[in-house]
Structure 1
Amino acid sequence: MNLILETERLLLRPFELSDAEDLFIMDNNPNVHKYLWQKPTQNIEESIEIIKYIQKQYTENKIGRYVTIEKETGKFIGWTGIKYINDHVENGNTNFYDYGYRLDERFWNKGYATEATFFWLDYGFNQMNIKEMNAYTHAENGASNRVLTKCGMQFVEDYPDKDGVTWKWWQMKKSVQ
Structure 2
Amino acid sequence: MDLVIETERLILRPFKLSDAEELFELNKNPNVHKYLWQKPEEIIDESIKVIEYVQRQYAENNIGRYAAILKQTGDFIGWTGIKFVNDHVENGNTNFYDYGYRLNEKFWNKGYATETSKVWLDYGFNKMKIDKMNAYTHSENGASNHILQKVGMKFMEDYPDTNGVTWKWWQMENPDLR
TM class by shorter chain equals over 0.9
Amino acid paired to 1:58: Y
Count of residue correspondences: 177
Contact 1:158–1:166 (Cα < 8 Å) also in 2: yes
Q: How far apart are residue 3 of structure 1 and its match? A: 1.4
> What corresponds to 1:43 in structure 2?
43
Distance in 2 between the 1:142 and 1:59 partners?
34
Q: Does residue 82 in structure 1 map to residue 82 in structure 2? A: yes
The match for 1:117 is: 117
Q: How far apart, CA to CA, are the structure 2 residues paired with 1:74 and 1:140? A: 32
Q: Which residue of 2 aligns with 1:3?
A: 3
* TM-superposed deviation, 1:176: 2.9
SS, match of residue 176 in structure 1: helix
Cross-structure match for 2:30: 30
> How many angstroms apart in 1 are the aligned matches of 2:125 and 2:59?
20
Structure 2 residue 167 is the aligned partner of structure 1 residue 167: yes
For residues 145-164 of structure 1, the aligned pairs below 5 Å read 145-164=145-164
CA contact (8 A) 1:20 1:44 kept: yes
Structure 2 stretches of 5 or more lacking a match? none
Note the C-alpha offset of 1:2.
Answer: 2.0
Q: SS state of the match for residue 148, structure 1?
A: helix
Q: What secondary structure, in the 3-state scheme, does the structure 1 residue paired with 2:13 have?
A: strand
Q: Which letter does structure 2 place at the counterpart of 1:133?
A: M
Deviations 1:15-65 (CA, angstroms, capped at 9, x unpaired): 000000000000000000000025001100000000000000000000000
Structure 1 unaligned segments of length 5 or more: list them. none
In 2, distance between residues paired with 1:37 and 1:176? 34
CA distance in 1, matches of 2:175, 2:24: 38
Q: Using the alignment, how far apart are the partners of 2:17 and 2:61 within structure 1? A: 19
The answer to which of 1-10 and 153-162 deviates more is: 1-10
Once the two structures are superposed, what CA deviation does each residue of 1:112-150 show, in whole Å capped at 9, x if it has no partner? 000000010000000111010000000000000000000
| Residue 129 (str. 1) matches residue 129 (str. 2) | yes
Runs of 4+ displaced beyond 3 Å:
none
Q: Which amino acid aligns with 1:152?
A: G
Letter in 2 for 1:150: K
* TM-score normalised by length of structure 2: 0.98
Amino acid at match of 1:67: A
Question: What residue identity is the alignment partner of 1:95?
Answer: N
TM-score, with structure 1 as normaliser: 0.99
CA distance in 2, matches of 1:92, 1:53: 23
Equivalent residue runs for 1:12-27 within 5 Å? 12-27=12-27
2:122 counterpart letter in structure 1: D
SS at match of 2:148: helix
CA RMSD after TM alignment? 0.8
